[in-house]
A and B are shown apart, each in its own frame.
Chain A
């Protein structure tokens, strides 16, 4: 089929432009690998309590619409979630130890090895057999960049929690939610004032 010369020139350029637009939109929409594949469903059978929260962009928008702007507690949550693109939580409580192994977490940790992720906290307590890891993806340099994705893994002998939040967020905003609407108080650097079901951090008097 013979197309006129201008049309033949136009086709590759328009395809290239379309590809650039799609790729740039994808880059803006979501950082690479920001959404983790949390394939832990097989643990639900062994768990005494399972929490599975999957909120994608549309559900977050829907939830945000049911948060009041006028009530300060809800307004803070609304503000925090307004830019989020996804919240994914898997939490399991077990009646006895040894119901999961590191191998169960290996696929998630493998995804977090992607250079886009940086581990900002990693604590292993051999005594308590507990590990806690916090990973972030930032939009700029790590020092001044904005967090665009967050992953948390806390593994205890009888409890396992994996959290993945996608979208621009501020950890200070998250800490501001503490103490309201049943959300425990978390400090993100300053004084710690934890409440909730978990044991308090050991009190260390810094004198």
Chain B
């Protein structure tokens, strides 16, 4: 007996399959977005930490310079 053409998916099954594919795509997109946001947050926090470290060192260097400058001044007489 010759096999006929494969029966087409039932319309309801096709709808479910399309829904499943859409759900997978949506989940993938959301996950990708989350990962990207997490990476950005991590990079931002790292940049912030670097910035605060730089400001701390700058402030300390200015403080040190100020200390040296004050020490180098001749004993001043103020009113």
Contact = CB atoms under 8 A, between A and B. Distances in A.
Q: Is the pairing of A and B real?
A: yes
B54 A87 contact: yes
B66 A201 contact: yes
Interface residues of A, number: 52
A89 B58 contact: yes
Contact of B65 (A65, A152, A185, A202): A152
Given A123-B72, A181-B52, A60 B62 contact: no
A89 B54 contact: yes
B48 A183 contact: no
Interface string B24-67: 00000000000000001101110110111111111111111111
Given A89-B54, A182-B52, A183-B52, A121 B69 contact: yes
A114 interface: no
B70 interface: yes
A50 B52 CA distance: 16
A198 B64 contact: yes
A53 interface: yes
A181 B54 CA distance: 12
Contacts, number: 138
Nearest to B40: A62
Interface in A118-138: 121, 123, 125, 130, 132-134
B14 to A, nearest CB: 46
B69 A123 contact: yes
A202 B55 CA distance: 24
Contacts of A199: 67
A201 B69 CA distance: 9
A81 B70 contact: no
Given A154-B64, A154-B65, A201 B70 contact: yes
A184 interface: yes
Nearest to B70: A201
26 contacts: A53-B50, A55-B47, A55-B51, A60-B51, A62-B43, A63-B51, A66-B41, A66-B44, A81-B51, A89-B54, A121-B69, A163-B57, A163-B61, A174-B55, A174-B62, A177-B55, A182-B52, A183-B59, A184-B59, A194-B67, A198-B60, A198-B67, A199-B67, A201-B66, A201-B67, A204-B73
In the A-B complex, the 3 residue pairs with the smallest Cβ-Cβ separation, listed nearest first, are: A201-B67, A63-B47, A132-B65
Interface of B: 40-41, 43-45, 47-48, 50-73, 75-78
